[in-house]
């Protein structure tokens, strides 16, 4: 992929991927980080699951039927896609590729398979952060408190959470979402450090400065 500088200072674009078991607080944290870093653009995935109360098509997800989703798989529309908790989820390819090539910073919330697929495709330009709940008990309380899933779905998500958590080792960073403000500040520090990492600087810009 072509690597271009962005307007903020001649740096390459980047995809910041957040994963966590469902109910840990990814959506809440991504919103908090985006409020602090308004230049972050959020990738909107497609899914075959039904919208939850308050979710909007085109803002939270693009909600598709199974048939529409499978048609897009065949067309090669997705950067990566996966079945998560019995539904299909996929990240549109063109959008991310174009934004990173244009030097933009993208944030997205993906499951573990999705995050690893992004790292495979953009090894130098993807930063993976795994968010842990303070405990499995706290996770259960958050899932119950959110009141968006029935008891069977919550039990299934808790079961899958254990397998997901074991895969933290593939990530660049791990953050515990205990106190929201603290976790959001940690994510912000990671993001800032990665943006300012020397490898992200475009050598041409430095040469221009020295010329």
List residues binding ligand ADP (CB under 6 A): 20, 22-28, 142, 145-146, 177, 179-180, 183
Span of 67-75, 81-89, 93-101, 178-186 interacting with ligand 5GP by CB under 6 A: 81-89
Question: Following DSSP, what letter does each residue of the chain receive, concatenated?
Answer: ------TTTSB--EEEEEE--TTSSHHHHHHHHHHH-TT-EEPPPEESSPPPTT--BTTTBEE--HHHHHHHHHHT-EEEEEEETTEEEEEEHHHHHHHHHTT-EEEEE--HHHHHHHHHH-TTTEEEEEEE-S-HHHHHHHHHHHT-S-HHHHHHHHHHHHHHHGGGGGSSEEEE-SSHHHHHHHHHHHHHHHHT-GGGB-HHHHHHHH-
Q: Which of 30, 91, 127, 132 binds ligand 5GP (CB under 6 A)?
A: 91
d(CA 63, CA 187): 28
Choose between 114 and 133: whose C-beta lies nearer to ligand 5GP. 114
Nearer to ligand ADP, 72 or 142 (CB): 142
Smallest separation, CB 7 to ligand 5GP (Å): 27
Q: Least CB distance from residue 72 to ligand 5GP, whole Å?
A: 12
Min. distance of Cβ 196 from ligand 5GP in angstroms?
Answer: 27
**Residue 186 CB, nearest approach to ligand ADP (Å):** 12
Q: How far is the CB of 17 from ligand ADP (least distance, A)?
A: 13
- Residue 49 interacts with, from ligand ADP, ligand 5GP, none (CB under 5-8 Å by kind): ligand 5GP
| Interacting residue with ligand 5GP among 110, 129, 139, 183 (CB under 6 A) | 110
| Sites of contact with ligand 5GP (CB under 6 A) | 22, 45, 49, 80, 82, 84-85, 89-91, 109-111, 113-114
């Amino acid at each position: 992929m072509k690597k271009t500088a962005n307007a903020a200072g001649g740096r390459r674009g980047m995809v910041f991927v957040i994963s966590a078991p469902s109910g840990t607080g990814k959506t809440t944290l991504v919103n908090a980080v985006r409020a602090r870093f308004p230049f972050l653009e959020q990738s909107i995935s497609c899914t075959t699951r039904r919208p939850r109360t308050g979710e909007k098509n085109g803002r939270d997800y693009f909600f598709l039927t199974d048939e529409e989703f499978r048609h897009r798989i065949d067309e090669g529309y997705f950067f990566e896609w996966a079945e998560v908790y019995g539904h299909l989820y996929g990240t549109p390819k063109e959008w991310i590729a174009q934004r990173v090539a244009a030097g933009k910073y993208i944030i997205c919330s993906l499951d573990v398979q999705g995050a690893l697929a992004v790292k495979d495709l953009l090894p130098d330009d993807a930063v993976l952060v795994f968010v842990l709940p303070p405990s499995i008990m706290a996770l259960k309380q958050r899932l119950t408190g959110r009141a968006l899933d029935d008891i069977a779905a919550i039990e299934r998500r808790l079961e899958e959470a254990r397998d997901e958590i074991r895969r933290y080792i593939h990530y660049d960073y791990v953050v515990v979402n205990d106190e929201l403000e603290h976790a959001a500040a940690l994510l912000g520090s990671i993001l800032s450090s990665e943006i300012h990492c020397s490898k992200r600087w475009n050598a041409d810009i430095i040469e221009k400065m020295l010329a």
